[in-house]
């Protein structure tokens, strides 16, 4: 029973296929050393002809080169088969050639007698012409195309890989499709590289064919006259015809294989095979057909010309052009009147629930070139740069930006969405440049007036030839891709806290855990929950504090997490630990800090409000209005002096004032005294005073 199973497994289709190639190569090698009878030679030569025709037909039916990826190997094996048949036939020709032209089999006799009329002079000429066509024209051209294609394919590989990575990062393709595309690029490079080398086999085969013909003729004359005592004329007739038949029966399949190689490497990949490409590119051009028919008709009317041939071909081309034009006219109505195919309603499934993109960019159809890698759109690369810049400056990797076209919006517009909700939009004009007025221009420019979508500054769309003039006048000139990228960068930074979900926090902790695993394990979940850590980090981001220094943040949470669980209190403690970086982010490396301070009376009143248990929402309306008005005035004065707007308050008041003033004055930063590092000098340049 086991023996039966093993035998059946051995001869299964999969195993038989794996044994086919080794057996085929062993048979080829056997033909080089073992004598073959004429009947076996006839069968093998016929198989060689059939194989070459089959390869040619497969090459004609392919739509792209990789559809016949095994062709370089087929080319090598067919060349080895022809050479081994040449060796086997040479053996029979030299051994049995004295018996006549039929001594080496019917196939060689047919090619040597019927195809060239039994005239060995004509046969030699025909053989040489076939070799020249194969060696100099087809093989040389196909080899050159394969060589150039291989070089350009290898040179284009990095760009294609970058395009795949950009599409993957932009969400246009998934990981499986990206892996498939990368594999196709690698296979394409391997294919053309192999074709470049395989073409050398065909060239060597042509040279070997000439040498084998000469060897067979010379060797046959020597064997016939010296060993079999044949007259020179009879020996030349027998052995030359046999050598020519042997050469032709090998060179014709070689020529067919070379044609197949040229077709495969010279075609352009489309959704059509060779026949479809030729018919659609040549015979569908009715104007060219009519003009060609007219020229042939005029040539056919010249006395002495073959009138019937020219006029009949002209009439045929007119008929083909007429039918082609009628078919093209019928295509559109057929498409318009085609009945709609009834689609059977399917049950709803979880596949119908599409997840919402965390970050999305929707563009109108005129802006598609900005995000199209095939059109050298740079916006995708800029978005990748935005994500890297955000990760370096803010401290975590934001989600990928999924880009898609939206035909429902204005063709020149774009929308930026956060969790499916629009957070920003704008309009750009491709082919123009946006000249932004930073507030210090020396003149005005003609163009389409607008505003910068990111910061609301006055701007104007100008032509490319006005760019240098605009820059000389003080404008900031940017291209449409930069406009969209700047707006996206501004909004992503502004909504950093909303982008920091639990997945991002966990990824952040996992990244830190690679260098300090015990630190992270001690914090989460032993001391604090993941949600509490997320709340602390989100609060820092809302207040414009980067979370790059995760080591200090984790150390502070570990130090105080045993007795403090409130995220707001933990945030205040973390801010003190990050005080040096917070101050440096606002002021840079200066030693003197110009700040806005609270009037003592207002400070006491706010402390009383806080002690009474009221937060910013429970503040008296009069006090709230006065505080907001006075702070706005002080902020404007601070900005007029060229200082960053910073309000310095006691630590207990900082969270209250930060939440209250954040919406009305987003540019104002609220610091506590505890957050100012040692070595920095405070200079009060403005005072918020008054009471309700």
Tell me: the pLDDT tens digits for 568-618?
999 999 999 999 999 999 998 889 999 999 988 888 888 888 887 655 555
The structure tokens listed for 279 are 């018919």
Residue spans of the domains in the chain: they are 43-270, 284-326, 359-497, 500-577, 591-692
Q: What is the pLDDT at residue 5?
A: 44
Name the more confident of 123 and 582: 582
CATH number for region 591-692: 3.40.50.12790
- For domain 500-577, give the fold: Helicase, Ruva Protein; domain 3 (1.10.8)
- Answer whether 359-497 and 500-577 agree in fold: no
Q: How far is it, in rounded angstroms, from Cα 480 to Cα 379?
A: 9
> Cα separation of 135 and 258, whole Å?
9
Angle at 427 between CA 426 and CA 430, to 5 degrees: 140
Q: What is the pLDDT of residues 397-417, one digit of tens each?
A: 999 899 888 888 888 999 999
Confidence band, pLDDT 50/70/90 cuts, at residue 80: confident
- pLDDT tens digits, 298-327: 887 888 778 788 788 888 888 887 777 777
pLDDT category, 93, cuts 50, 70, 90?
confident
The whole model's pTM is what?
A: 0.52
Assess contact for 673 and 647: CB atoms under 8 A: no
User: Which superfamily does 359-497 belong to?
Assistant: FHIPEP family, domain 1 (3.40.30.60)
Determine the pLDDT at residue 338. Answer: 44
Between 123 and 507, name the one with better pLDDT: 507
- Helices vs. strands in the chain: H and E counts, helices first: 26, 12
Helix or strand run (H / E) with residue 422 = strand 421-427
Residue 160 — very low, low, confident or very high, per pLDDT cuts 50/70/90? low
**Residue, of 692 and 444, whose pLDDT is higher:** 444
Q: What is the mean pLDDT of the chain?
A: 80
More confident residue, 591 or 283: 591
Helices (H), 97-174: 106-113, 120-132, 140-169
Task: Tell me the chain's radius of gyration from C-alpha atoms.
Answer: 41
User: Is the pLDDT reported for residue 243 higher than 50?
Assistant: yes
In this prediction, residue 3 carries a pLDDT of 45
The residue with greater pLDDT, 288 or 450, is 450
CA geometry: angle 550, 552, 557, nearest 5 deg? 95
Whether the CB-CB separation of 145 and 265 falls below 8 Å is answered with yes
- d(CA 272, CA 363) in angstroms, rounded, equals 32
- Predicted confidence (pLDDT) per residue in 270-282, tens digit: 556 666 666 666 6
- Dihedral, 645, 648, 652, 654 alpha carbons, nearest 10: 10
525: preceding bond cis by omega (within 30 degrees): yes
Helix runs in 11-70, H state only: 13-33, 38-61
Question: What's the pLDDT at 2?
Answer: 46
Torsion of CA 329, 334, 337, 340, to 10 degrees: -150
């Amino acid at each position: 029973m086991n023996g039966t199973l093993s035998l059946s497994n051995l001869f299964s289709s999969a195993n038989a296929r794996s044994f086919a190639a080794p057996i085929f190569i062993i048979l080829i090698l056997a033909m080089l050393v073992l004598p073959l009878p004429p009947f076996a030679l006839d069968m093998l030569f016929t198989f060689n002809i059939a194989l070459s025709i089959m390869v040619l037909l497969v090459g004609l039916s392919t739509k792209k080169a990789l559809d016949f990826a095994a062709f370089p190997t087929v080319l090598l094996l067919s060349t080895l088969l022809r050479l081994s048949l040449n060796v086997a036939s040479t053996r029979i020709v030299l051994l049995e050639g004295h018996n006549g032209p039929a001594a080496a089999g019917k196939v060689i006799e047919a090619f040597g007698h019927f195809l060239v009329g039994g005239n060995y002079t004509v046969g030699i000429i025909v053989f040489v012409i076939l070799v020249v066509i194969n060696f100099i024209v087809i093989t040389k051209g196909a080899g050159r195309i394969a060589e150039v294609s291989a070089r350009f394919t290898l040179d284009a590989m990095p760009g294609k890989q970058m395009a795949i990575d950009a599409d993957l990062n932009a969400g246009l393709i998934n990981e499986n499709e990206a892996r498939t595309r990368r594999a196709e690029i690698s296979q394409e490079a391997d294919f053309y590289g192999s074709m470049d080398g395989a073409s050398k086999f065909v060239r060597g085969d042509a040279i070997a064919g000439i040498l084998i013909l000469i060897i067979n003729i010379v060797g046959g004359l020597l064997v016939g006259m010296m060993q079999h005592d044949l007259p020179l004329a009879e020996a030349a007739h027998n052995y030359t015809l046999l050598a020519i038949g042997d050469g032709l029966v090998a060179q014709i399949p070689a020529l067919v294989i070379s044609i197949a190689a040229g077709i495969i490497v010279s075609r352009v990949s489309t959704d059509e095979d060779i026949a479809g490409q030729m018919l659609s590119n040549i015979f569908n051009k009715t104007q060219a057909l009519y003009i060609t028919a007219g020229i042939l008709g005029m040539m056919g009317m010249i006395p002495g010309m073959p009138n019937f041939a020219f006029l009949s071909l002209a009439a045929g081309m007119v008929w083909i052009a007429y039918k082609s034009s009628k078919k093209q006219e019928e295509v559109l109505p057929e498409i318009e009147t085609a009945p709609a195919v009834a689609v059977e309603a399917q049950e709803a499934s979880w596949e119908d629930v599409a997840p919402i993109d965390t970050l999305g960019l929707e563009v109108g159809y005129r802006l598609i070139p900005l995000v199209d890698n095939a059109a050298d759109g740079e916006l995708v690369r800029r978005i990748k740069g935005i994500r890297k810049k955000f990760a370096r400056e803010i401290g975590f990797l934001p989600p990928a930006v999924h880009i898609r076209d939206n035909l429902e919006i204005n063709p020149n517009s774009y929308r930026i969405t956060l969790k499916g909700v629009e957070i920003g939009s704008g309009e750009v004009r491709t082919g123009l440049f946006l000249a932004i007025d930073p507030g210090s221009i020396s003149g005005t420019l003609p163009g389409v007036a607008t505003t910068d979508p990111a910061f609301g500054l006055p701007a104007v769309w100008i032509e490319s030839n006005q760019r240098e003039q605009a820059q000389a006048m003080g404008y900031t000139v940017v291209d449409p891709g930069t406009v969209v990228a700047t707006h996206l960068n501004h909004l992503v930074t502004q909504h950093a806290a909303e982008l920091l979900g639990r997945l991002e926090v966990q990824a952040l902790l996992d990244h830190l855990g690679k260098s300090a695993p015990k630190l992270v394990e001690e914090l989460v979940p032993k001391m604090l929950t993941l949600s509490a850590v997320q709340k602390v980090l989100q609060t820092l981001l809302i207040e414009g504090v980067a979370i790059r220094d995760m080591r200090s943040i984790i150390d502070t949470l570990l130090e105080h997490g045993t007795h403090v669980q409130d995220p707001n209190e933990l945030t205040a403690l973390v801010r003190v630990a990050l005080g040096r970086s917070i101050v440096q982010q606002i002021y840079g490396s200066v030693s003197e800090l110009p700040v806005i301070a609270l009037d003592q009376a207002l400070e006491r009143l706010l402390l009383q409000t806080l002690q009474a248990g009221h937060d910013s929402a429970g503040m008296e309306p009069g006090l709230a209005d006065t505080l907001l008005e006075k702070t706005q005035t002080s902020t404007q004065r601070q900005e007029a002096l060229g200082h960053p707007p910073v309000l310095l308050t006691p630590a207990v008041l900082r969270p209250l004032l930060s939440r209250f003033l954040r919406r009305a004055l987003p540019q104002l930063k609220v610091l506590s005294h505890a957050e100012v590092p040692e070595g920095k000098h405070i200079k009060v340049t403005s005072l918020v005073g008054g009471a309700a």
